[in-house]
């Protein structure tokens, strides 16, 4: 039998895969109405993913990586700025 943690993690993985798929569908869609529908679906899945993530975090099912330091954030911002 599945545990609550397993179900939540599986659902988060499915949402993540769905969100990646929408990125491709949106960029390749030539029909404006279809493109807009994919954007709406993606936005709903992003909201759903955030709620499930917060649930997982509150229940100890997910432990996020250590937060980046201000110096690390600045370094990444500098590197990205140089690339554009």
- Residues 39-72 pLDDT 10s: 999 999 999 999 999 999 999 998 888 999 999 9
pLDDT of 83 > 90? The answer is no
Specify whether the CB–CB gap between 19 and 42 falls below 8 A: yes
List the one residue out of 75, 46, 55 whose CA is nearest residue 7.
Answer: 55
pLDDT value at position 64? 83
pLDDT of 5 > 60? The answer is yes
User: Is the overall model pTM greater than 0.85, yes or no?
Assistant: no
Tokens of 37: 């529908």
């Amino acid at each position: 039998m599945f545990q609550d943690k397993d179900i939540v993690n599986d659902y988060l993985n499915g949402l993540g895969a769905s969100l990646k798929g929408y990125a491709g569908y949106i960029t390749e869609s030539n029909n404006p109405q279809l493109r807009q529908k994919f954007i709406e679906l993606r936005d709903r899945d992003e909201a759903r993913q955030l709620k499930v993530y917060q649930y997982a975090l509150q229940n100890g099912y997910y432990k996020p990586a250590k937060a980046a330091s201000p110096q690390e954030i600045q370094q990444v911002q500098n590197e990205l700025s140089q690339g554009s």
